[in-house]
């Protein structure tokens, strides 16, 4: 995969010796801080870091999660040899929902779409930025112009917190190690399609992810950070799932992979 051609959609981890992968966070800032403390303690020269999406939603500390992500990024980039591209943020389902909310005035049935978004936990993120589901429903009833003004105001509120909008701009669809050994995704992929042809399966998953029983397009292992069962760290010869249910009463998990797909370290903290 040509990193220059796809660097706006995909993150490329160069010169990686090991890669830390962090599962879905769902607004649980205290768990993230504890996880970061452990990663910092175990960090080695040549380590890289991928966040596998779902920073938003459910928990009541969404803004604090983004602040912590920014803080730890700066902390790691101060280490010798680290470059900005050595830390990658993937877009998760929650971030995809948030992106849709910011364009809800373009939806053919905005009220129904909002109901679906609320059922999928967008309310916690709205509250984090000083808005509410009731506000959104009111502006939808008032029509397209009112919705457009409201979403512009919501964007301004995000921009008022330094670095928050920068994270949203920097989100990538997937990440991979430079030599093509490891592929990192949010919730899954279609095993029959190459990476550049994947679409919504990145955010919503694909039931056939669990059936992958051979190398996916040359990658030794595909690692995802969200699955509905929240079963912790689950490994097969060609895949890894990391999701202990942070935000659902479970744990925030991370795993450290060598470039040949071996898990050499794991962290699990209560959320």
**Domain assignment present for 56:** yes
Q: Residue 134: which domain range?
A: 96-159
**Confidence (pLDDT) at 3:** 42
Same domain? 113 vs 197: no
pLDDT score, position 262 = 96
Are 58 and 114 within one domain?
no
- The total of structural domains in the chain comes to 2
Q: Would you say residue 165 lies in a domain? A: no
Establish if 164 belongs to a structural domain: no
Judge if 199 and 84 occupy the same domain. Answer: yes
- Do 266 and 178 belong together in one domain? yes
pLDDT tens by residue, 119-162? 999 999 999 999 999 999 999 999 999 999 999 999 999 999 99
Please give the radius of gyration of the chain, using alpha carbons only, rounded to the nearest integer. Answer: 18
The CATH number assigned to the domain holding 204 equals 3.60.21.10
The closest of 196, 177, 230 to 20, measured between CA atoms, is: 177
- Indicate whether 21 and 63 sit together in one domain: yes
Q: In this structure, is residue 247 part of a structural domain? A: yes
- The rounded distance, in Å, linking the Cα atoms of 75 and 171 is 19
Q: What is the pTM of this model?
A: 0.95
CA distances from 94 to 143, 202, 225 (A): 25, 12, 13
The answer to whether residues 182 and 266 belong to one domain is yes
Residues 66 and 121 in one domain: no
Helix 110-119 to helix 133-142 angle (10° resolution) is: 170
Residue 144 lies in a domain: yes
Mark whether 143 and 239 lie in a shared domain: no
- Is the separation of the CB atoms in 182 and 223 below 8 Å? yes
For residues 143 and 247, state if they share a domain: no
**Are 85 and 101 found together in one domain?**
no
- Do 154 and 193 lie in a common domain? no
Is residue 197 a part of any domain in this protein?
yes
**pLDDT tens string 241-268:** 999 999 999 999 999 999 999 999 999 9
Last-in-domain residue among 108, 130, 159:
159
Residue 37, pLDDT > 50, answer yes
pLDDT digit string, tens, across residues 14-33: 999 999 999 999 999 999 99
What is the average pLDDT score of the chain? 95
176/213 same-domain check: yes
């Amino acid at each position: 995969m040509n990193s220059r051609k796809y660097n706006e959609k995909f993150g490329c981890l160069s010169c990686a010796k090991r890669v830390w992968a962090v599962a879905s966070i769902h607004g649980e800032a205290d768990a993230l801080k504890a996880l970061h403390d452990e990663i910092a303690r175990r960090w080695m020269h040549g380590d890289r870091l991928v966040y596998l999406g779902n920073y938003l939603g459910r928990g009541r500390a969404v803004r604090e999660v983004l602040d912590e992500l920014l803080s730890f990024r700066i902390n790691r980039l101060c280490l010798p040899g680290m470059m900005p591209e050595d830390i990658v943020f993937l877009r998760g389902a929650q971030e995809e929902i948030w992106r849709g909310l910011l364009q809800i005035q373009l939806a053919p049935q905005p009220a129904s779409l909002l109901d679906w978004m609320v059922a999928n936990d967008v309310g916690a993120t709205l509250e984090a930025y000083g808005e509410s589901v009731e506000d959104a429903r009111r502006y939808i009833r008032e029509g397209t112009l009112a919705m457009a003004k409201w979403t512009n105001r919501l964007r301004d509120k995000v921009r008022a917190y330094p670095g928050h909008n920068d994270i949203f701009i920097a989100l990538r669809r997937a990440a991979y190690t430079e030599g093509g050994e490891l592929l990192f995704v949010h919730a899954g992929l279609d095993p029959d399609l190459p990476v550049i042809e994947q679409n919504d399966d990145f955010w919503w998953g694909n039931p056939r992810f669990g059936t992958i029983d051979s190398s996916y397009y040359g990658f030794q292992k595909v690692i995802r950070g969200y699955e509905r069962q929240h079963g912790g760290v689950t490994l097969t010869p060609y895949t890894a799932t990391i999701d202990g249910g942070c935000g659902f009463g479970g744990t925030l998990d991370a795993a450290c992979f060598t470039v040949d797909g071996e898990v050499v370290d794991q962290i699990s903290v209560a959320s």
